[in-house]
Amino acid sequence: MVQEVAEGGQPFVITQNGKARAVLMDVRAHERLLATLAMLKLLAQSQESLNRGRSFTTSEVRARAHAALARAKRNG
């Protein structure tokens, strides 16, 4: 199962009593997922900041993005 997921890149859903209980996925796919979630979180935070009238410079946004991706990799 692990070899199939690692080579094919497609996640494998593990069921228990006919219900999905866990997912086995390739490490690279997991890292991409974490990076995507980090970026989506930043976008949501940015939208909230704009709604409150706060904006950021390009360098501030880049620094926050790099920090979020670093956190995602450490926590992944």
Q: What is the pLDDT of residue 50?
A: 86
Name the residue ranges covered by the structural domains of the chain: 2-75
Residue 46 makes CB contacts below 8 A (sequence gap 6+) with 56, 61
Q: What is the pLDDT of residue 14?
A: 95
Question: Considering the entire predicted model, what is its pTM?
Answer: 0.60
pLDDT > 70 in the chain, percent: 99
Q: What pLDDT, in 10s, does the model give residues 30-60?
A: 999 999 999 999 889 888 888 898 887 889 8
Q: What is the pLDDT of residue 13?
A: 95
Residue 37 makes CB contacts below 8 A (sequence gap 6+) with 72
Determine which of 1-5, 9-13, 26-30, 70-74 has the lowest per-residue pLDDT on average: 70-74
